[in-house]
Structure 1
Amino acid sequence: MNDAAQQSRHVMLVAGETSGDTLGGELMAAMKEISTWPLVFSGVGGEAMERQGLTSIFPMTDIAVMGPREIIPRLPLIFRRIRETVHHAVAAEPDIVVVIDSPEFTHMVAKRIARRAPNIPIVDYVLPSVWAWRQGRARAMKKYIRRVLALLPFEPAFLRSVGVDCVYVGHPAIHRVPESGSGKQFREEHGIGADQPLLLVLPGSRVNEVKHLLQIFGDVVKTLAKEMPDLRIVLPTVPHLREVVEKAVHSWPTDVLLVSDEQQKRAAFDAATAALAASGTVALELGLARVPMVVAYRAEALVGWFALNVLKIPSVVLVNLILDRPSVREYLHNRCTPKELLEGLRPLMTDTPERTRALADFDEMRVRMGIGGEPPSRRAAKAVLELL
């Protein structure tokens, strides 16, 4: 191998929370696998990135905070960490910088690096939802971001329209598609017949949201159980919500199977007839798993006003945005009632044209998102190494 091929490349990465650390670790592993140069890593990350050879400048937990109550008292520390990260970039002169998600932190870092060291190319992995609101921010990114690695297939066209280079690499949810046959095994393990209707209930991950939606979802289940006496309910949950969920479903007219294990959750997706879900990333996971669904969300008046008047998108369901049509029915704010949810859910529980159409839409979405193709981390690694 010649000297040029042997010369190492310095890649600086900056992640601000656990999900970004996971993406960063997978990116680093893929880059090491396909790079023709030895790679040196530095920057900010957590356990996943450190396992791949990163020594973090400071503990990522210093900046992994959520919400004003946590952020405000830690602002002095956060701003100090921003300065330290920028100083490291300017002093170390990496060949490229990759900032990963957490835009409130990583984009402040990226802007300052671009001002002080404009020769260093900066890649943004995970686009902030600028297509949903604050679309002017996308144009501003052109000043400090060389390339964006997009998780959603409609993002490149939007960014190119404002002059920002963007490559679609794929969403982490692609990794969470259930294994073929896991649903059949799940049904057998839990005594659910092959043709027995199985409804997934997914009320979200925030305590207040779960408490509120479970009241509404419970009314839906009560009516549906009368109409379908052999109905089974599966509710995936997380440990910190289990007690809240158990208390809420105690009065439901049919037994509710709670699952907390990730593999069991994916198997339940593969086994499900349909789903009643809170708005969020879970709708994308359900679509990729080919589970017909209705999506619900109920917010406080101010949040509801924001969603209706500030968001620049026709839907809050990623499936609909990816397909560019209203495939999944969504019931938001005042429309989030048991009666309306039932009307949308009933046709999905049996063999109907609505159910057939939903499954065909999900197949189309899976193609658009690259299911079965190259892993997102490998696509992302190629897009970064191209700039080197």
Structure 2
Amino acid sequence: MTARPLAGAAMRRICLVATEESGDRLGASLMKVLRQRLGDGVEFSGVGGCGMTREGLASLFPIEELSIVGFAAVLKQLPKILGLIRGTVDAIVAAQPDVLVIIDSPDFTQRVAKRVHARDPEIPIVNYVAPTVWAWRPGRAGAMRGYVDHVLGLLPFEPEAFRRLNGPPCTYVGHPLIEQLASLRPNAAEQARRDADPPVLLVLPGSRRSEVARHIAVFGETLARLRAQNLAFEAVLPTTPHLEAAVRAGVANWPLVPEIVTGESEKRAAFRRARAALAKSGTVTLELALSGVPMVTAYRVGEIEAFILRRVVNVQSVILANLVIGENVIPEFLQEACTADNLAPVLADLLGDGPIRARQVEAFDRLDAIMSTGAASPSVRAADIVLATMRSGRR
């Protein structure tokens, strides 16, 4: 049942800013819970995508205007980006919200938050999705303390990281993937297929065109090595509709052309059947781990980006699932180490019943306890903190 505002109660105004699809999904789920709590007594404004629009937000601009890839492209579009930041700040300050929620996309949202705070320090600010201060640029945590009231972390180790780095208060609210376990875990028939021969091997070269371009050839070489060893398997490559043509062109000369599936439901169905995965590093590693799919990971970037990252990244692993588990159970092969010679032997182990597979399966069994948020969902926990942070009355 939708809540109704008390007679005479003031309308609550909540501004949200999300500029990527993942942030839009988080924002939409948060708005849904806030609407359930506040009923018709809430107004939403700010920046968001289709999901947030469906929940009642009229975005200040289409988030596609910030879909800019590459350093040179960003420089070229910098005047436009700065203009969007100024316009967003002006609109938020004019709206006089009870709280501002910035969601991920720190290059944009942190600049908005700093400027809003400078112009009106009375507006509370909640940062949904903690910036990765635990991985690089740790000084950001202390700087955020000056303008962010509360950080909502998606990973269980983030509150301690912000405490150690003297950042603002941070609460682990839970990763959205833990709300999707039913679509990640196999039923009895899918588990039987996962255990059957030939095993299903997931191939995940990336979700961006540049990532596919960098990984598709070495992934194909890796599968060729496995075939040369007479290992039988069925390869499935989930991708998105806008990358399908590039993927099909990239796998055309593979010795084993994988089944290509598009769409989220088809991807999740493949996860539930798969015995192992060859994956590009990223959030997908946590998705695979929660699905119970052992993996080997790889990652290549451009030489300039690699040069910079080697000097600023300060974590024991770049694999998200390893960081959450707290140990490096998933092998990672980065840059020069990302070769078929390195990837193929690990995949052979994972497709069978080798020790690398056994170690990952045992570690993945602990993830539910590590990532648990108790009875409340991540969206509910996030909404609780947003409501608690809202200022009590209007000026």
Q: Which TM-score applies when normalising by structure 2?
A: 0.89
1:29–1:52 Cα contact (<8 Å) kept: yes
* Aligned pairs (5 A) from 1:264-279: 264-279=266-281
Shift of 1:5: 8.3
Matched, 1:114 2:117: yes
3-state SS of the aligned residue for 2:68? coil
Question: Where does residue 245 of structure 2 map in the other structure?
Answer: 243
1:7–1:37 Cα contact (<8 Å) kept: no
Question: Where does residue 85 of structure 1 map in the other structure?
Answer: 88
Shift of 1:276: 0.7
Deviations 1:284-331 (A, max 9, x none): 111111110010112333332323222111111001111221111101
Matched, 1:210 2:212: yes
2:197–2:233 Cα contact (<8 Å) kept: no
Q: Distance in 2 between matches of 1:381 and 1:73?
A: 38
Question: Where does residue 225 of structure 1 map in the other structure?
Answer: 227
Question: Where does residue 286 of structure 1 map in the other structure?
Answer: 288
3-state SS of the aligned residue for 1:133? coil
1:186–1:267 Cα contact (<8 Å) kept: no
Match of 1:51 among 48, 51, 54: 54
Question: Where does residue 173 of structure 1 map in the other structure?
Answer: 177
Question: Where does residue 340 of structure 1 map in the other structure?
Answer: 342
Shift of 1:193: 8.3
67 and 174 in structure 1: CA distance in 2 versus 1, 3 angstrom threshold? farther
77 and 334 in structure 1: CA distance in 2 versus 1, 3 angstrom threshold? closer
Q: Distance in 1 between matches of 2:262 and 2:188?
A: 16
Match of 2:331 among 305, 329, 332: 329
Q: Distance in 2 between matches of 1:212 and 1:236?
A: 17
1:6–1:37 Cα contact (<8 Å) kept: no
Aligned residues: 385
Q: Distance in 2 between matches of 1:339 and 1:303?
A: 24
Question: Where does residue 157 of structure 2 map in the other structure?
Answer: 154
Deviations 1:55-95 (A, max 9, x none): 23344344443433443343333323322322233333211
2:5–2:38 Cα contact (<8 Å) kept: no
1:186–1:264 Cα contact (<8 Å) kept: no
Shift of 1:179: 4.8
Q: Distance in 1 between matches of 2:239 and 2:191?
A: 16
Deviations 1:137-189 (A, max 9, x none): 1110000000011111111110122142011122233345435446845987x
Q: Which amino acid aligns with 2:232?
A: D
1:199–1:234 Cα contact (<8 Å) kept: yes
Question: Where does residue 200 of structure 1 map in the other structure?
Answer: 202
3-state SS of the aligned residue for 2:77? helix
Question: Where does residue 305 of structure 2 map in the other structure?
Answer: 303
1:152–1:168 Cα contact (<8 Å) kept: yes
Structure 1 alignment gaps of length 5 or more: none
Q: Which amino acid aligns with 1:295?
A: T
Question: Where does residue 74 of structure 1 map in the other structure?
Answer: 77
Q: Which TM-score applies when normalising by structure 1?
A: 0.90
Q: Distance in 1 between matches of 2:259 and 2:379?
A: 34
1:9–1:38 Cα contact (<8 Å) kept: yes
Q: Which amino acid aligns with 1:126?
A: V
> Is the deviation greater in 353-362 or in 311-320?
353-362
Shift of 1:227: 3.2
Q: Distance in 2 between matches of 1:108 and 1:148?
A: 16
Q: Distance in 2 between matches of 1:37 and 1:45?
A: 20
Q: Distance in 1 between matches of 2:293 and 2:59?
A: 40
Q: Which amino acid aligns with 1:375?
A: S
2:346–2:356 Cα contact (<8 Å) kept: no
243 and 57 in structure 1: CA distance in 2 versus 1, 3 angstrom threshold? closer
Q: Distance in 2 between matches of 1:302 and 1:58?
A: 32
306 and 36 in structure 1: CA distance in 2 versus 1, 3 angstrom threshold? same
Structure 2 alignment gaps of length 5 or more: 391-395
3-state SS of the aligned residue for 1:259? strand
3-state SS of the aligned residue for 1:143? coil
Deviations 1:76-132 (A, max 9, x none): 333233223222333332111111112122111111111121111100111222221
1:9–1:37 Cα contact (<8 Å) kept: no
369 and 57 in structure 1: CA distance in 2 versus 1, 3 angstrom threshold? same
Q: Distance in 1 between matches of 2:47 and 2:242?
A: 28
90 and 218 in structure 1: CA distance in 2 versus 1, 3 angstrom threshold? closer
Q: Distance in 1 between matches of 2:375 and 2:300?
A: 36
Percent of aligned positions that are identical: 44
Question: Where does residue 60 of structure 1 map in the other structure?
Answer: 63
- The two structures, once aligned, show a CA RMSD in angstroms of 2.6
256 and 357 in structure 1: CA distance in 2 versus 1, 3 angstrom threshold? same
